[in-house]
Amino acid sequence: MKKIALSIAGFDPISGAGITADIKTFSDFGVYGVSVAAAITCQNTLGVKSVYPVSNNIIIEQLETLLCDICVDAVKTGMLYDAKTIDAVCGCIYKYKLKKLIVDPVLYSSSGAVLLNENAVGLLKDKLIPVSYLITPNLSEAGILCGFKVDSVDDMKKAAKKIHQFGARFVLIKGGHLTGNKVMDLLYDGSKFTYYEHLKISDKDKGYHGTGCALSSAIAALAAKGRPLTEAVSDAIDYTTDKLQRPLDLGQGSYLL
């Protein structure tokens, strides 16, 4: 039987990120993708113009209509925007006992737009992270969650330990913004670290749109297929790196994956 992965995130009209980008990634790994829109964004390759959250009643209705009919093998959350959205999503996660939850804690867009209200960060830590299988913050997101700046591998290790204490089973800190020509990502399971080092791909002076979505949704797809997490992370990094080497130049701004 074909494996199914669910994306709960924002809708991006150019499909560079959000639910439509996630479904493309699920398909690349042979997993059937289903989705629930948590917000509607107006954006293009130049940046985010505006964000409109979907009401929590509609989010719950989308989820319950979907989950009363099919069983999903993994779930990935992306942009959730506000506290009401997180509360609605968590209620369904608890009710349907959803497993293999991959949390991409999207706080800002690559162009700097706020994608999670500041007053919702506490609820993210208190309700969503504790039921997550994996959380995948970048350096900036890890710093906001932990309350200190994260800009070195030692900082990443400290942040991973602190975020693990929030209740996540695994923590993947993405080191894409470290200085130098190499990237160091690290995975923490509560007792040991696994390191993933790879060459940094040049942004070609335009930047990239959707790298975090590609990575987290690739991990979710592989988790749905039952891959051990250390292998899933490695393969997802390879997949995202390959996408970065062959980006789509469709607009006037950032490259798409």
The answer to which of 71-85, 162-176, 196-210 has the lowest mean pLDDT is: 196-210
Residue 204 has pLDDT above 70, yes or no: no
Residue 192 has pLDDT above 90, yes or no: yes
- Residue 97, domain extent: 4-256
Determine what percent of the chain is predicted with pLDDT higher than 70: 97
pLDDT of residue 151: 92
pLDDT in tens, 5-37: 999 999 999 999 999 999 999 999 999 999 999
pLDDT of residue 129: 96
Q: How many domains does the chain have?
A: 1
pLDDT of residue 200: 85
pLDDT (mean) for 204-210: 82
pLDDT (mean) for 160-187: 92
Q: What CATH number corresponds to the domain at position 143?
A: 3.40.1190.20
Residue 225 has pLDDT above 90, yes or no: yes
pLDDT (mean) for 163-187: 92
Residues 6 or more apart whose CB falls under 8 angstroms from that of 162 comprise 145, 146
Query: Exposed (0-12), middle (13-18) or buried (19+): which is 76, by Cβ within 10 Å?
Result: buried
pLDDT of residue 179: 79
pLDDT in tens, 130-159: 999 999 999 999 999 999 999 999 999 999
